[in-house]
C-alpha cells in the first residue's frame, strides 16, 4: 500500500512564480578556494525568492538507495536501486517485484545499478537502457551501459547486451558517472567518472581511456559518424569520446529547445560544475579546477583557467554534490519552463537555476540539509518526483501546499 505520510509538513520552499531577484547570492558559507570567477554570474548568482509553499510526501517507499527514474510511455515509472534491483512504480506509487533478467552488478561503495532510461523507440521495440558498475576480472569494475527488451507484463528483460563498457577496468569502486541520455538522432550520451584515485584521475585527460568522459555511441553500441576522434590511428576508446577532462559526471540533460547536451559533475572540495558540452572539448580536470583537494592542496596546476580548456557555465564552492538534473517542462509550475532543477546530495535538497541562453541569472535552493536527493523527474501533472537516496529511501512527490488540502 502506498504511504502518503507527509515528510515535511508545512515546509516552506521557494519554487517559482514570477521570482523576485535579489543582488546577494544564496547563503551558503565560505568557499574552499579563493578563485575569482571568469565571468559574471559564473558562481553565486543572485538569489531568487518566490515564496511558494510546497508539500513533499512519500509517494513510494521501501527503496534501498534509489538512483535512477524514468517514465514509461503507458503510465508508471522505472526506478533503480543501487544494490541491483529495478522496479516498476505505478501511477499511485505501488512498487512491483524486482524485474528479472538484469546483469550482475558490483554493489560496493558508489557502485551498483545506476541510471535507467526508456529507449527512444520503446513503442516499437520495448527497449530500455541502464548503466551499472560491471564486475570485471581480478575484483575490478567498470562503468557500463546495457539495453534489453522489457516484457509486455513488465516483469523481465530479455536480449540483454552491453552497448558500452568503460576501458580500462578499475580496482576503485568510486566515481562511475553514470547517466545516459538520448539526443533524438539515434545516439546515446553516457557519462563516466575517473574512479577517484590520484593515479586514475589523470586518465580524464587521456583520450585512450574512457575515464572522466562523455561518450557518444549509437543505440546498438557502435561508434557513430561525427564523433571527434574517429581517425584510423585512434583507439576504440578514443572513437567513443565526445568530450573529456571531467571528474565525476552524475547529471546530464538535453535542452528541450536547443537540443544541446548539458552535464553537471562533482568537484573535489568546491568546484562542482555545470557544463554545456561541445564535441572534442577539454573541460580541464584534473589540470584546472575551481576547487581544492580534500586535504586543502591545490588541484593540478593550481589554476582555474587555462588556454585550451573550457570554462564551466556555472560552479559551486562550497559544493552541492549534484546528482541528476532536469529542464523543467510542466504545467503545475508554468513559470519554470526551461529552468534547471538539480538534485543535491550534500547538503541535500534541490537547487533551481534560471538561465538566459547559456548564462545563469539566478539561483534558489529548497529543502537544503533535509534529504540526499539523487534524481528528479517531472510527473505528467507537472509535480516533482525526487529520489531520496538512503538505505530507507523513497520517491517523494512535491506539489504546492494548496493542492494537498
DSSP string, 187-222: EEEEE-B--S-TTGGGGGG-TTS-TTEEEEEETTSP
Q: What was the pLDDT predicted at 403?
A: 62
b/e 285-305 (16+ beta carbons within 10 angstroms → b): bbbbbbbbeeeeeebbeeebe
Helix (H, G, I), strand (E, B) or coil at 31: coil
Whole-angstrom distance, CA of residue 378 vs CA of residue 395: 12
CA distances in angstroms from 156 to 46, 73, 101, 105, 125, listed in the order given: 48, 17, 6, 17, 14
Domain 20-404, CATH: 2.120.10.30
Q: What was the pLDDT predicted at 34?
A: 86
Whole-angstrom distance, CA of residue 81 vs CA of residue 67: 6
Q: What was the pLDDT predicted at 401?
A: 72
Q: Where are the beta strands (DSSP E) in 54-210?
A: 54-63, 66-71, 77-81, 85-89, 113-118, 127-135, 141-150, 157-165, 180-182, 187-191
Question: If we measure between CA atoms, which residue out of 8, 31, 41 comes closest to residue 268?
Answer: 31
Q: What was the pLDDT predicted at 6?
A: 37
Instruction: Tell me, yes or no, if the pTM score tops 0.85.
Output: yes
pLDDT tens, per residue, the chain with 405 residues: 333 333 333 333 333 344 444 589 999 999 999 899 999 999 999 999 877 667 789 999 999 999 999 999 999 999 999 999 999 999 999 999 999 999 999 999 999 999 999 999 999 999 999 999 999 999 999 999 999 999 999 999 999 999 999 999 999 999 999 999 999 999 999 999 999 999 999 999 999 999 999 999 999 999 999 999 998 899 999 999 999 999 999 999 999 999 999 999 999 999 999 999 999 999 999 999 999 999 999 999 999 999 999 999 999 999 999 999 999 999 898 788 899 999 999 999 999 999 999 999 999 998 899 999 999 999 999 999 999 999 999 999 988 776 654
Q: What was the pLDDT predicted at 394?
A: 98
CB 272 within 8 A of CB 316: yes
Q: What was the pLDDT predicted at 12?
A: 31
User: Catalytic residue positions?
Assistant: 175
- Extents of the domains making up the chain: 20-404
Amino acid at each position: 500500500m502506498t504511504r502518503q505520510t507527509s515528510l515535511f509538513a508545512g515546509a516552506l520552499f521557494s519554487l517559482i512564480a514570477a521570482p523576485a531577484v535579489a543582488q546577494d547570492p544564496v547563503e551558503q558559507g565560505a568557499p574552499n578556494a579563493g578563485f575569482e570567477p571568469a565571468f559574471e554570474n559564473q558562481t553565486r548568482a543572485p538569489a531568487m525568492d518566490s515564496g511558494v509553499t510546497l508539500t513533499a510526501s512519500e509517494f513510494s517507499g521501501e527503496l534501498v538507495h534509489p538512483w535512477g527514474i524514468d517514465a514509461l510511455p503507458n503510465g508508471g515509472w522505472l526506478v533503480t536501486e543501487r544494490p541491483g534491483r529495478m522496479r516498476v512504480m505505478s501511477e499511485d506509487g505501488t512498487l512491483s517485484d524486482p524485474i528479472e533478467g538484469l546483469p550482475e552488478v558490483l554493489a560496493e561503495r558508489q557502485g551498483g545499478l545506476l541510471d535507467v532510461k526508456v529507449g527512444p523507440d520503446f513503442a516499437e521495440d520495448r527497449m530500455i537502457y541502464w548503466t551499472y558498475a560491471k564486475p570485471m576480472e581480478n575484483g575490478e569494475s567498470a562503468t557500463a551501459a546495457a539495453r534489453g527488451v522489457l516484457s509486455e507484463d513488465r516483469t523481465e528483460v530479455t536480449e540483454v547486451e552491453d552497448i558500452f563498457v568503460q576501458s580500462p577496468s578499475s580496482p576503485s569502486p568510486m566515481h562511475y558517472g553514470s547517466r545516459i541520455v538520448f539526443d533524438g538522432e539515434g545516439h546515446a550520451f553516457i557519462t563516466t567518472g575517473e574512479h577517484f584515485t590520484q593515479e586514475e584521475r589523470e586518465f580524464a585527460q587521456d583520450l585512450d581511456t574512457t575515464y572522466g568522459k562523455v561518450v557518444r555511441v549509437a543505440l546498438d553500441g557502435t561508434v557513430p559518424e561525427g564523433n571527434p576522434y574517429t581517425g584510423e590511428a585512434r583507439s576504440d576508446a578514443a572513437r567513443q569520446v565526445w568530450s573529456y577532462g571531467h571528474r565525476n559526471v552524475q547529471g546530464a540533460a538535453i535542452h528541450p529547445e536547443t537540443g544541446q547536451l548539458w552535464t553537471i559533475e562533482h568537484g573535489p572540495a568546491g568546484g562542482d560544475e555545470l557544463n554545456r558540452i561541445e564535441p572534442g572539448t577539454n573541460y580541464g580536470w584534473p589540470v584546472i579546477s575551481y576547487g581544492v583537494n580534500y586535504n586543502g592542496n591545490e588541484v593540478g596546476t593550481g589554476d582555474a583557467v587555462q588556454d585550451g580548456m573550457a570554462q564551466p557555465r556555472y560552479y559551486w564552492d562550497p559544493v552541492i554534490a549534484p546528482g541528476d538534473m532536469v529542464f523543467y517542462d510542466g504545467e503545475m509550475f508554468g513559470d519554470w519552463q526551461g529552468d534547471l532543477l538539480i538534485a543535491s546530495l550534500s547538503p541535500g535538497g534541490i537547487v533551481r537555476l534560471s538561465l538566459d541562453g547559456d548564462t545563469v541569472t539566478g539561483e534558489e535552493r529548497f529543502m537544503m540539509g533535509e534529504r540526499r536527493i539523487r534524481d528528479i523527474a517531472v510527473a505528467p501533472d507537472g509535480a516533482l518526483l525526487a529520489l531520496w537516496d538512503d538505505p530507507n529511501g523513497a520517491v517523494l512527490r512535491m506539489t504546492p501546499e494548496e493542492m494537498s488540502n
